[in-house]
Amino acid sequence: MAKRGRKRKFAARRRETTRNGRAGIVDPGSYTLRRHRALLTGDPDLPVDPLGVLLGRGLIDLAAYHAGRGLGELLATIRAGVYGSPGSVNGLWLAIMAGGAIRGPAVGISPSSLRALRTVAQIKNRLGDPVATELVMRSCAGEWVEATISLAIRRPLSTPAFRALGRLLAGLETVARQWSRNLPVDRRPHLENRSPVL
């Protein structure tokens, strides 16, 4: 028995809306955009943000980069659940650094935002150093600090910026070592606690 209705046209638009999309051609961006990305981050495929600059300059590895991205997603979840979608990054991290993003009773806040808030509080406790915590939170939220600006424009680091960069890198390594998006902060398996396999 034959199918009912009209036959499909071979070149009809199905999921993509352009000829290049139907042909599978990927547009990596204009030459100018890729050149600017390469100048700022060292790699034309990385985004122009603080974590992209640190990864492109070889100061952090992929684990620290992805852990920072995951922390940035947690901060965005908190902002969306507590303050609503619009909100500045600066106000977000200032509120979190002031002892928590919740002002007043926690009514009407989504469970995912509360879980994200608890996870960020655990990460803050693990970092310990308040300056490193502030630098990590600001960088993961996408806010530029003096050290990452100096790296992006290839300006020599001042002594305070060099110290801040050291604290930022140590904090990102701690976050990458202690937390990933797939495992909670306190339940990460430790190799020394495992029994040997016979």
Residue 16 to residue 20: CA distance in whole angstroms: 9
First vs last C-alpha separation in the chain? 61
Average pLDDT over residues 12-36: 68
As a whole number of angstroms, the distance between CA 74 and CA 186 comes to 17
What is the residue extent of each domain of the chain?
Answer: 48-180
pLDDT in tens, 77-111: 887 776 665 455 555 565 566 555 444 444 567 77
pTM to 2 decimal places: 0.67
The pLDDT of residue 190 is above 80: no
The per-residue pLDDT for 126 is 87
The answer to whether the CB of 179 falls within 8 A of the CB of 188 is: yes
Cβ-in-10-Å burial (0-12, 13-18, 19+) of 82 comes to: buried
pLDDT averaged over the chain? 75
Answer whether 74's CB lies under 8 Å from 67's CB.
no
pLDDT band at 5 (very low <50, low <70, confident <90, very high): confident
Between 145 and 196, the higher pLDDT residue: 145
Q: How confident is the model at residue 178 (pLDDT cuts 50, 70, 90)?
A: confident
Residue % of the chain over a pLDDT of 70 = 64
Query: Between the CA atoms of 77, 78, 82 and 85, what dihedral angle is there, to the nearest 10 degrees?
Result: -40
In the chain, beta strands by DSSP E:
none
Instruction: Check residue 12 and report its DSSP letter.
Output: -
